[in-house]
Structure 1
Amino acid sequence: MTIFSRLTDIIHSNINSLLDKAEDPEKMIRLMIQEMEDTLVEVRSTAVRAIADKKEMTRRLETLDASAAEWQLKAEFALSKNREDLAKGALIAKNKLVGQANGLRAGLEDVEDSLNKYNNDLGQLQSKLDEAKTKRKSIEIRMKTAQKRVKIRQTLHDGRVDDAMERYSVLERRIDELEADAEAFSLGKQRTLDEEFVELAAENAIVDELEQMKAKLAEKQGKS
């Protein structure tokens, strides 16, 4: 495919439509950007050569016009001296140069038309490239968001979290049972000061263990 065919395809492409049909939009947009950047370099290189051609043709045209004008003056001078033969020769030389200049001038117009087209195409291509880069950024953000959501869901369904919650429930049940035992033991009986301190220490140990488990569970969930 030539540079002009690729350029036309890119300029008239619908990026959203292409991405919707792609199995891997992230890869697709990356390849599209690479293709656009490569085409942009090629078009600019072609434009640079055209600019160089224009400058060379312009210099050549100026030389031809100057030479033709010089022969015109010679023809007029010869005619003023009644040398029609020399005047005729000068006009023949002038007309030859004018013909070359006219042909070169037509070629110069073609080059200028091409440069105008390159300038227009480069503008459209750059616009498409900017659009594609914006789309790539959007796709990257959406991809990262989706990956985070998947990770969160995996964490929520992780067996380790369920096990921790189960142990947490068991420990709470133990506390309930201890408190029930303590209440049942004290029914109809006045507790001694030593018994109250023993009960307080046991209850405090259970509460400490429970708080440690809560902290570990919160730390795991925070990392995920």
Structure 2
Amino acid sequence: MAKQSIFGRISTLVRANINALLDSAEDPQKMLDQLVRDYTNSIADAESAIAETIGNLRLLERDHAEDVKAAGEWGNKALAASRKADELRGIGHTTDADKFDNLAKIALQRQISAEGEAKQAEPTIASQTEVVDKLKDGLNGMKVKLEQLKSKRSELLARAKTAEAQSRVHDAVKSIDVLDPTSDLGRFEEKVRRQEAIAQGKQEIAASSLDMQFNELEDMGELTEVEARLAALKQGGQSAITE
């Protein structure tokens, strides 16, 4: 019963603390550190409760030992008084012998009483010894779990740091991934491509304008040649009329 009450109370406390920590967890390291502290404090509470239980058992054991010792001492006194009575009766001192026999009877009564108390305490001592042994085992189990918790804490923190580092590396790689249109470099490349397209467009416009100018010159050349030939025809015609 003592085992259940001690570890039941501690188990309830630990579960409540764990649930509270999980509900409010923001920083994994702070949560795990607090969990280790709470479990350590729970072990300290268990040690205190177990120490009290062990103390009560030791008191029972000392009382039992004293009863056993007293029973032995009263038995010796009864034997001594009985022998003295026999000795006195042997020399004819009957009255004194009866007195020592009465003392022997009183001593035997005290012996029986002490033996009864010792025997009555034995089942309680046996059950309390079993409880204490289980409490010690349970406490040792808690200490083992504490070491496991500390080890798990270190493992989880290492994994959390690794995950955080991997996330930072992923973000860094993403920021320079030219294939990622959402990255800074991708956006800059898109801007350059647009600028290049605009420059190419301007070049094409300029080239188109130059071609048109040359075409106009060619057209003007053709017109000039036509005018020259027309003038030559006219001059040739007049020469023929004059002749």
Normalized against structure 1, the TM-score is what?
Answer: 0.57
Number of the residue aligned with 2:6: 10
Task: Answer yes or no: is the 8 Å Cα contact 2:3–2:135 preserved in 1.
Answer: yes
How far apart in 1 are the matches of 2:80 and 2:97? 12
Number of the residue aligned with 1:129: 139
How far apart in 2 are the matches of 1:42 and 1:168? 67
Amino acid at match of 1:146: L
Task: Answer yes or no: is the 8 Å Cα contact 2:64–2:117 preserved in 1.
Answer: no
Task: Write out aligned runs for 1:73-152 (5 A).
Answer: 73-152=83-162
Number of the residue aligned with 1:187: none
Task: Answer yes or no: is the 8 Å Cα contact 1:32–1:132 preserved in 2.
Answer: no
**Unpaired runs of at least 5, structure 2:** 22-34, 179-184, 190-243
Task: Answer yes or no: is the 8 Å Cα contact 1:7–1:39 preserved in 2.
Answer: no
Q: Aligned match of 2:171 in 143, 162, 171?
A: 162
Q: CA deviation at 1:163?
A: 3.7
How far apart in 2 are the matches of 1:44 and 1:107? 21
Change (3 A) 1:8 1:106: farther
Task: Answer yes or no: is the 8 Å Cα contact 1:72–1:91 preserved in 2.
Answer: yes
Q: CA deviation at 1:78?
A: 3.2
Amino acid at match of 1:62: G
Task: Write out aligned runs for 1:172-187 (5 A).
Answer: none
Q: CA deviation at 1:125?
A: 0.6
CA RMSD of aligned residues (A): 3.5
Alignment pair present for 1:34 and 2:34:
no
- Give 3-state SS (helix, strand or coil) of 1:157's partner: helix
How far apart in 2 are the matches of 1:45 and 1:14? 20
Bigger Rg, structure 1 or 2:
2
Number of the residue aligned with 1:221: none
Amino acid at match of 2:6: I
Change (3 A) 1:16 1:7: closer
Q: CA deviation at 1:96?
A: 1.1
How far apart in 1 are the matches of 2:124 and 2:5? 18
Task: Answer yes or no: is the 8 Å Cα contact 2:68–2:118 preserved in 1.
Answer: yes
Task: Answer yes or no: is the 8 Å Cα contact 1:68–1:95 preserved in 2.
Answer: yes
Number of the residue aligned with 1:63: 73
- Give 3-state SS (helix, strand or coil) of 1:145's partner: helix
Task: Write out aligned runs for 1:171-210 (5 A).
Answer: none
Change (3 A) 1:20 1:35: closer
Task: Answer yes or no: is the 8 Å Cα contact 1:6–1:39 preserved in 2.
Answer: no
Q: Deviations over 1:155-175 (max 9, x none)?
A: 3333x75245534756xxx9x
Change (3 A) 1:20 1:59: closer
- Give 3-state SS (helix, strand or coil) of 1:128's partner: helix
Change (3 A) 1:102 1:8: farther
User: Identity percentage over the alignment?
Assistant: 12
